[in-house]
Amino acid sequence: MTTETTVTTALTTIRQDLEKCMPKLAEVATKHCTPEKIVRIMLAACSRNPKLLECSRESVMLFCMKCSETGLAPIGPGGSWPVPYKNNKTNKVEMQFIPDYRGMVNCAKRAGCITDAYAEVVKENDEFEYTLGLTPSLEHKPAKSERGKMVNAYCVFSLPDGTKRFTLMDKEEIEGIRKRSKAATSGPWVTDESEMWKKTVVRRAMKPFAGMSAELDAALEADNAATGLVEREPIAMPKAKTIDAEVKENPPNEPEAGNTAGDDHTAIPPAQPSNESTIKADLIQAIKARRKADVLKFNTVCSELKIGSKEWENESVDSLVILNERLRGKKSA
């Protein structure tokens, strides 16, 4: 059997498997990324790179599910990359889903968070100046030759109101993230280092928009899984200390004699005021962005939850949480 015949047979088999999987793809597919489109681009990618045909069918199906969930349908720049790799535990070749950083930008654009964004690296011989504060600015003139080593990376993005902002990271910050990655000494960190610098700063720039789009959230999570980035756990807030001690009569606001800041009986500060209003404001902002992205879905969900599509902002925080989760595609109890 010739190589061409083998590839044709493998493509026919994978097409049949993908068509059987289409109902599952439809469950998570976005409005601009239909199951038919996913199957079509997957077959095109496999025909261009026969190595992908060696991947396990389970991993191919999982890749397609990720494409549907994130909306990153294009294979390549602006979408996602199917990368075959050998899983030594299962002794199988598996297809790994790696979001392209420009795909993350596209997710944020579709969510209405930004209108455009791009990333660049700065090298030691470039002319580069920036200022922060109330009037941030950035100017970058790449050296015409011998630019030297990379020292910074930045991402410039435009907000819906036309305002431009930028996120900047230096070498120390980027190397810190690289060291936290499980793939720090292999893969794109070695073969495409400049692109990984861009991807790292784009991730940082898009992170504040997490929660505004289910697609963007899924893309960020998929990238974590693919690159092996170990996210730092948040620092736990200190808990109030319960003191079982005899209450002593002291004048108001006057510490007991001999008590210092280092004693065990340090006074517990009064409880902070509730931040419910802040939470509600954040929820309203997130829901408005999702309503703008899909008005039909917004009206449908409001009807199902028996929430007025015009008076929804007056609902309780609990109701807004459920509405937001339903708009993200998650069902709340």
Domain boundaries, the chain: 3-99, 112-227, 280-327
What pLDDT, on a 0 to 100 scale, did the predictor assign at position 228? 58
Q: Give the mean model confidence (pLDDT) for residues 170-189.
A: 82
Quote the CA–CA distance of 238 and 282 in Å, as a whole number.
25
What pLDDT, on a 0 to 100 scale, did the predictor assign at position 276? 58
Quote the CA–CA distance of 215 and 111 in Å, as a whole number.
8
Element at 331 (helix H, strand E): none
3-state secondary structure string, 133-170? CCCCEEEEECCCCCCCCEEEEEEEEECCCCCEEEEEEE
If you count DSSP H runs as helices and E runs as strands, how many of each does the chain have, helices first?
A: 11, 7
The answer on pLDDT for 258 being more than 50 is no
Residue 104 vs residue 254, higher pLDDT: 104
Residue 329 vs residue 269, higher pLDDT: 329
Q: Give the mean model confidence (pLDDT) for residues 221-245.
A: 52
Mean of per-residue pLDDT scores for the chain: 78
The answer on pLDDT for 331 being more than 50 is no
What pLDDT, on a 0 to 100 scale, did the predictor assign at position 289? 82
The answer to which of 5-19, 26-40, 267-281, 292-306 has the lowest mean pLDDT is: 267-281
Residue pointed to by tokens 């976005």:
30
What pLDDT, on a 0 to 100 scale, did the predictor assign at position 143? 94
Dig out the tokens for 51 from the structure.
Answer: 């190595």
Percent of the chain with pLDDT over 90: 19
The alpha carbon torsion through 214, 216, 219, 220 (nearest 10 deg) reads -110
Residue 147 vs residue 263, higher pLDDT: 147
Write the pLDDT tens digit of every residue in 57-94: 888 888 888 888 888 876 777 788 888 877 888 888 88
Helix axis angle for 276-293 and 295-304, nearest 10°, is 120
Write the pLDDT tens digit of every residue in 107-143: 899 888 899 999 999 999 999 999 998 899 999 999 9
